[in-house]
A and B are shown apart, each in its own frame.
Chain A
């Protein structure tokens, strides 16, 4: 007997158009206790054309003139509902995301909380102020003393976005950003996780049905010749999330007049200086490192592939690894690693064995790992001077370095792909070290334990995600009538 049967749609379109969506097929996901029927729409040009027409019209009639204050309140309310553990859509999403992606429910829960906690009223106001100074520029022309005239910021009429990853709750960021700049938004869900975005838009519908009329999300096979170029042709801005290759091939299909923002795959790392390699607080710091490596099962670009530990402190890097391993194990009890593919598991076993043989061979190597499964791995070696990516899924490489300033040269080659660094140096070298990382291309520097929770204010991938969507109109007049 199946205890839980859920029927969902892999799309969300405004109410008026809903009965025009034809279902082409139903995907079935199931485990011992749950069965999910996911309805896949059949998409053609005619439908997309009507949808885009509708989104643009509703934006013009409603969202374009909605005060930014109201928009923030609606989005804040949406985040609050999603933070409520009893909110039915959240409870449903926990089941569907976990079953479809393989992430454990605990991981999904932790990532939903992290995303939504940084998507509240104050966060949005701070992000707006940081990026555009005065948020009221979005409402109407504001007097600017620097200009000696009036300025106003306009968002694109229609943002089209392609999501191609399974990171839970990532797509809501793009809908929030579009709404904040008063743009209609049409997204494409990732096949790897197609359920969250439609549910999130349902929440917007509950709170402000008219705003929801300006937002939509669809499902189609990635790379379909017909749909993507057609859609990009009609967008004012396109925001891409995905692999380096995917983004490259999509970019070629975007017409020149359309603004394009790319969030490609990137990677993270951590650096801990000898002043922080202390016995006191060791367990806590090790837990923070373990958390960075375990959130989203290390699949987000925020996650570290490597943690560099400086030698010469009170605690040696190897000793530190023991503490990290213990913390990884505890965390795995509390927030288990998800299901992974045979290829991913095999990659972990193969790399573990390579480390193990180097250890047996008397090299300065240590491998600590869950047994018999691949849940987590801590692999220590002396910094080889090159940056080798991890096979992920909670496999952290730890490199021992004599001096933290030996780290940056190895990062130079991958500068544009550096995302996120946890830095804990604990002495006066920290400032200089951070300066160097910034120059290399790192987009965000934070503390261990915080890698997976950037704030809404973050310059996502090093760009200003709101300001980049805007265009400005300046009026060089001091006329009181304006």
Chain B
């Protein structure tokens, strides 16, 4: 019923083969070729995107490099459906951050798109989260996909659980909220039995758990090989914590070595994930500065916030990502994240807020609070 056209299936197979070569296989030419193929199909299949490109004088036959593919600003997903085959959508993920459903970005995935995402999750985690190949008990500080069907993080962590988790792995946010008692029990039993744990979930969930532990005077010494994976920032749902402090808390409260706390940049609009290199480098004995790593099926470019043109290496600007696994919607995505390129990958500084208020006009943030009646 939701069968995709042959050309999409064939292309997906080529991309999956590319992804399955792993994260160490550098093949810029192969990436370029596939990126142009994906663009060609998206140009052909998504009329709105085609018009957007044509307005900019870009057509597949006119370009020879992935860098020329027009990027789609993330907010467009709030107002438009931009899937390649909307009638084949089997799963829709939505962005968080606002209470108004009409202001949440929506990205539809077809079967092939989900398969591509699954492949990226498995390959990237193999390199960056489980380079030791170890199976652990995965405890997830997030709701399950059944509870949060539109949350891409829930989907991704469920995959991690399936691919890499021991049987007692589980989600820890239920209908009644965060199941802290169960988490405590699971952590204690791991300590007792020596079963290493992978705790993963939203960054704010960790911080709230740390605060809880401090208040109750709880500490853990999790077995060697335990690790954390956090993503998504704080979003005003916990206190804001700097990376160094986060890692220190993992060490002090959970007893997890600092090299085993990994942060991931994931976005609803992007099928692939960008992991910190920390744990992989630690495992390989490499002393490289920490950065977010582009797996070979993705590229990231830093652009000037004023002109959206690429910036010289090292300068801070807005991150633009290219992801072959985005075959089902749009390959090139313009984000509003600030960051800069680093020798091994890139750094992301997030959507940091303005320091001091500038003018005296009511801001969009203030307006949102007023509308909510706060």
Contact = CB atoms under 8 A, between A and B. Distances in A.
Contacts of A341: 354
B371 A413 contact: yes
Nearest to A267: B362
B351 interface: yes
A417 B359 contact: no
A24 interface: no
Nearest to B338: A342
Contact of A243 (B79, B318, B363): B363
A422 B83 CA distance: 42
B268 to A, nearest CB: 15
A374 B306 contact: yes
Given A361-B80, A372-B308, A372-B309, A245 B366 contact: yes
Nearest to B48: A360
A392 B359 contact: yes
Interface centre among B308, B309, B356, B362 (most CB of A within 10 A): B362
A358 interface: yes
A165 B355 CA distance: 12
B75 A350 contact: yes
Contact of B307 (A244, A343, A361, A373): A373
Nearest to B75: A350
A356 B360 CA distance: 29
For the residues of A in contact with B, the DSSP-based class is mixed
Nearest to B72: A353
B98 interface: no
Interface in B301-319: 305-309, 316-318
* Contact residues on A (Cβ < 8 Å of other chain), bracket: 35 or more
B357 A342 contact: no
Given A349-B308, A350-B75, A192 B358 contact: yes
Interface in B322-353: 334, 336, 338, 351-353
B363 A389 contact: yes
Contacts of B96: none
Contact of B357 (A164, A300, A391): A164
Given A343-B352, A414-B367, A300 B48 contact: no
B80 A343 contact: no
A246 interface: yes
Contacts of B75: 350-351, 353-354
Contacts, number: 142
B51 A192 contact: no
A470 interface: no
A349 B364 contact: no
B281 interface: no
Given A245-B366, A265-B362, A347 B357 contact: no
Contact of A391 (B51, B55, B364): B364
Contacts of B73: 349-350, 353-354
Contacts of A356: 52, 55
Interface in B51-81: 51-52, 55, 72-76, 78-80
Interface string A368-390: 00001110000000000000010
A177 interface: no
Interface in B268-321: 305-309, 316-318
A357 interface: yes
Interface in B85-100: none
A347 B336 contact: yes
A392 B359 CA distance: 10
Interface centre among B76, B80, B361 (most CB of A within 10 A): B361
A354 B78 contact: yes
B1 interface: no
14 contacts: A245-B366, A267-B361, A343-B305, A345-B305, A346-B305, A346-B318, A349-B308, A349-B334, A354-B73, A354-B78, A357-B76, A391-B364, A392-B361, A414-B370
The 10 closest A-B pairs by CB, nearest first: A299-B359, A342-B305, A350-B75, A353-B73, A345-B305, A346-B336, A267-B362, A301-B360, A372-B307, A265-B362
Interface of A: 101, 164-167, 170, 190-192, 222, 241-246, 263, 265-268, 296-301, 303, 305, 341-347, 349-351, 353-354, 356-358, 360-361, 372-374, 389, 391-392, 413-414, 417
